[in-house]
Amino acid sequence: MQMDDKLRDFVLNNDFDIYEPHSGHEDRFLKKLEAKKNNKNHFSWKWLSIAATITLLIGIFIGSNYTERNQMSEMAETESFFINTINQELKEIERHRNIETESIIEDALEQIEELEDQFKSFKNDLETMGNEKQIIKGMIDNYQQRLQILENLLYQLDVIKNPEKQNEEFNEII
C-alpha cells in the first residue's frame, strides 16, 4: 500500500470535527482563562515549581557525579592496562640487556622518561582543568607512544640476537 492510499484511508475512516464553534466561544474561553489567572492557587504552584527545580538539580548533581566517577573508573582501567603492558615489555627488554644492547636500551629508556615527564604534565592539567577530552587523549597518546618505543626496541633487540630474522622479513617485503 502506498503512502497516498494510506493517507486517503485515514481521512475517509476518521470523523474530523469540521464545524465552527458556537458564537461567543472565544469570549467564554477568555473569561475562563482570566478566572484561572485570578485564582489564588499561585502559592501551591510556586512551591511545586520550587520543589521540582530542587529535585531536578539534585538529579543533575547525582547524575554528573555518577558520570564523572564512571569516567574516572574507565580511565583508571585504561591506565592500568597501559601500565601493565609497559611493565611486561620492560621485563622482556631487561632479559635482552647485555654489553651489546646496553646503548640502544638506554636510549629508548631516556625517550620513555621524557614521555613520563610529559605525562606528569598532563596529569597536572587534568587536576586543574578537569576531564578535558584533549588532555585525556594526550595521556592515551603518550601511553601509546611509550608502547611503540618499547615494541620498536624489542624488535631491534630481536634482530641483534637473530640477524637472519631481519633478512627474512626484508625478503618477505620484496
Contact 171, 165 (CB under 8 A): no
CA distance 159 to 100: 12
pLDDT at 50 > cutoff 80: no
pTM here? 0.55
Candidates 150, 165, 163, 142; CA nearest to 104 is: 150
- Taking the CA atoms of 154, 159, 165 and 166 in sequence, report the sign of the dihedral they define: positive
- Please tell me which residue, 125 or 77, carries the higher pLDDT value: 125
Mean pLDDT of 48-69: 64
What are 17-41's pLDDT values in tens digits? Answer: 666 767 777 777 777 777 666 555 4
pLDDT of 66: 59
What are 106-162's pLDDT values in tens digits? Answer: 999 999 999 999 989 988 888 888 767 888 888 888 888 988 998 899 889 888 888
pLDDT of 110: 94
pLDDT at 67 > cutoff 70: no
pLDDT of 57: 64
Q: What's the farthest any 2 CA atoms get from each other in the chain? A: 105
Look at the block and give the residue holding cell 557525579. Answer: 65
pLDDT at 103 > cutoff 60: yes
**Domain edges within the chain:** 74-173
Question: Phi-psi region for residue 39, left (φ > 0), alpha (ψ -120 to 50) or beta?
Answer: beta
Candidates 155, 157, 116, 110; CA nearest to 139 is: 116
